[in-house]
Amino acid sequence: MERLRQLKERVRRGGTGLIPYITAGDPDPEQTVRIMHALADNGADVLELGLAFSDPVADGPVIQRAARRALDHGIGIPGVLEMIREFRRQSQIPVVLMGYMNPVFRYGPEAFVRDLSRAGGDGLIVADLPYEEGEQMEKSCARAGVSLIYLLAPEISSERTRRILASTRGFVYCLSQYSTTGSGKTLKPELKRAVHSIREGTDLPVAVGFGVSSIKRAVAVSRFADAIVFGSWLISHLEKSTDRPAAAASFMKKLRSAVNGRGSESTI
Partners of 126 in the β-ladder:
99
The Cα 234–Cα 238 span in angstroms is 6
Distance CA 187, CA 30 (A): 36
Q: Environment class of residue 186 by beta-carbon count within 10 Å: exposed (0-12), middle (13-18) or buried (19+)?
A: exposed
**Buried b vs exposed e over 41-72: b needs ≥16 C-beta within 10 Å?**
bbbbbbbbbbbbbeebebbbebbbbbbebbbe
How many helices and strands, by DSSP H and E, does the chain display? 12, 9
Q: Cα separation of 262 and 234, whole Å?
A: 19
| Coil/strand/helix, residue 121 | coil
Residues forming the active site: 48, 59
First CA to last CA distance, the chain: 32
Tell me phi and psi for residue 152, to 5 degrees: -120, 130
Residue 119 and residue 106: Cα distance in Å, rounded? Answer: 19
